[in-house]
Structure 1
């Protein structure tokens, strides 16, 4: 565990030293903002549900977001209770808003929901749009490290859980619709 913590710190501070720039920060804040409360994925899921042809994938996206809330935000964050790097190292973050100390870091909900939704989209159909969604999911995860809101292991775990629960969501919806 000490090795993971040391690697997390090394990576997150390397990103701060090597990548953080004034011109990139607004983009990272925007990407992170559209992922708040899985907002962009909920909107996409609802829009997909409006058309019968895409309803199955829309429900799978929404179910993936629901798993993010239940498994990630309600359960794991409060079991692990890992402080965010912006709390551990006050004053380093480039985020515009610093969350409360009891708004825990592990796993990254932004990344979890992004990968859950994207996995459902990819399982429905592989095309340019799903490649774009995958790029958004990856950048979403990176933005959380960039903004000093999550350690890399929070983001990696969020991505892995997102893929797992995206598959689970797709399988559940496939059996019901």
Structure 2
């Protein structure tokens, strides 16, 4: 099964590399999205904004989810799985961003984005839908930039949703909501 997933991942990455048109504008946009997604910075900024605007529980949920990702995924899963990134396995891929220092699985950008999106759905469904669109763009940018395989992104999305649900549960307990 694992080799089937790897084969599927490689076929999709090859398809993206060969068939998705490359030009300056989408590449610049993907690089910008990558930059603001690094370390979950856009979501942490949103959390600070929510806290400042009187939505403390939701801001704390996002911060909790970001910290949970860092401890569980970044410090544990990525160091156990140690999956090479697409550009590391294929010398034909030209990297458009600074070389990521961690392993590929799971996508941190997708994990943090989908954790925050899950939380925002609890806060306000309309805001959640907007965040979902942004999170999908973030996830797709990781594929476009060739820094993740599709399964890295899909697992990042799934772990992010679970992470967001855990954050909602824990902070609601603490706030007695």
Tell me which interval the TM-score lies in, with the shorter structure as reference length.
Answer: over 0.9
Deviation at 1:71, TM superposition (A): 1.3
Q: Say whether residues 1:31 and 2:29 are aligned partners.
A: no
Deviation at 1:94, TM superposition (A): 4.0
- Superposed, 1:1-177 pairs within 5 Å as 1-22=2-23, 23-52=25-54, 54-100=55-101, 103-127=102-126, 129-177=127-175
Deviation at 1:61, TM superposition (A): 0.9
TM-score, normalization by structure 2: 0.93
- The total of aligned residue pairs comes to 173
Give the Cα separation in 2 of the matches to 1:97 and 1:20.
Answer: 21
TM-score, normalization by structure 1: 0.93
Q: Deviations over 1:101-130 (max 9, x none)?
A: xx2000000000000011011112201x32
Give the Cα separation in 1 of the matches to 2:131 and 2:115.
Answer: 11
Runs of 4+ in 1 over 6 A off after TM superposition: none
Q: Deviations over 1:120-164 (max 9, x none)?
A: 11112201x321111111111111111010000000000000000
SS in 1 for 2:22: coil
- C-alpha RMSD of matched pairs (Å): 1.2
Give the Cα separation in 1 of the matches to 2:92 and 2:67.
Answer: 33
Give unpaired runs (5+ residues) of structure 1: none
Q: Deviations over 1:25-45 (max 9, x none)?
A: 111111111100111011111
Q: Deviations over 1:31-73 (max 9, x none)?
A: 1111001110111111111122x11111111111111111111
Give the Cα separation in 1 of the matches to 2:91 and 2:35.
Answer: 21
Deviation at 1:86, TM superposition (A): 1.3
Does the 8 Å contact 1:25/1:94 carry over to 2?
no
Does the 8 Å contact 1:20/1:146 carry over to 2?
no
